[in-house]
Amino acid sequence: MICPDRTTILSATLTQLDATVNLVMHDIAATTEELWSRYDITADNLAAIIRWCDDHDLSRHVRLYFDDNRRSVFDLVLANLDIGAFAEVVIAAPVTSIGRSGYGTTDDLRAAAGLGVRVAAHGFSHMRVASYDLVGNLLATPLGGRYRDRSGAGRHDPMTENEALFQLVEAKEHFTELLGECTEFVLPHGCYNATTVALNQRFDLYTHLATTDPGLDTGQLLRPRFPVGADDTVETLAAAITAETSNP
Ligand SMILES: [Zn+2]
């Protein structure tokens, strides 16, 4: 049970800090039986989160992300749920997902943009632009390399500088051509390192690089986001967000 006072304080604190909370969803399942990964949530659970935000004056402080360009965002979310009160709704799409079975098409993305949804780049082929070794240490990006799509590389096999640049540049060009502007790159799997940030600055590519690091969004380059998964409820989200506001 959430203490009503705590939620009231949360809305007031976000106003005071002029901060936004970014929530990340992946696939939305129609029923619990159709959940196929811990990163996915049911439509009922998403509806409960939306209701909680609306009822506690939080929606205007919350940006909803739907990562990976899954069909469910078009078929279950945009078609059925009222998300008009939120600060922003963003679909993060990898270029190579567009038009594949189970994913949004170019027409879907254009129609969503027409409804006020922003489309962000989520890599060219959803590959990590930075990697970790087997025990979780962040790896450096090897210099140079060929400017090419590294689709299919292993998760502990870091892409080179020019391969990372390919993901950043080709995605930006694709979405700029499709929708006129692309100011945000949602880092595939939330991975980045100093080279990722340096490449973005050197080539003046994106205003924001969206991570899955916890925290409040006060406009910084590395945009924090809270992933919402199958185990999350309104209570766990409230606790995670409140922890960040009490320790900003
Ligand atoms: Zn993704």
Give tens-digit pLDDT for 204-247.
Answer: 999 999 999 999 999 999 999 999 998 898 899 988 988 888 76
Q: Is 115 helix (H, G, I), strand (E, B) or coil?
A: coil
Contact 238, 8 (CB under 8 A): no
Domain residue limits, the chain: 4-246
CA of 2 to the centre of ligand 1 (A): 30
Following DSSP, what letter does each residue of 33-46 receive, concatenated? GG--STT-EEHHHH
If pLDDT is split at 50, 70 and 90, which confidence band does 97 have?
A: very high
CA of 177 to the centre of ligand 1 (A): 21
Within 13 Å of residue 89, how many CA atoms lie on the same side as its CB?
20
CA of 196 to the centre of ligand 1 (A): 17
Please tell me the predicted confidence (pLDDT) of residue 113: 96
CA of 82 to the centre of ligand 1 (A): 24
Please tell me the predicted confidence (pLDDT) of residue 32: 83
CA of 37 to the centre of ligand 1 (A): 13
CA of 99 to the centre of ligand 1 (A): 16
Mean pLDDT, residues 63-80: 95
For the domain spanning 4-246, the CATH number is 3.20.20.370
Answer whether 0.75 is exceeded by the pTM. Answer: yes
Please tell me the predicted confidence (pLDDT) of residue 37: 81
Judged by phi (left if over 0) then psi (alpha if -120 to 50, else beta), residue 96 lies in alpha
**Backbone phi, then psi, for 20, in 5-degree steps?**
-115, 145
CA of 58 to the centre of ligand 1 (A): 25
Q: In the chain, which residue ranges form alpha helices assigned H by DSSP?
A: 4-17, 43-55, 71-72, 79-80, 106-114, 161-179, 194-202, 234-246
Please tell me the predicted confidence (pLDDT) of residue 33: 83
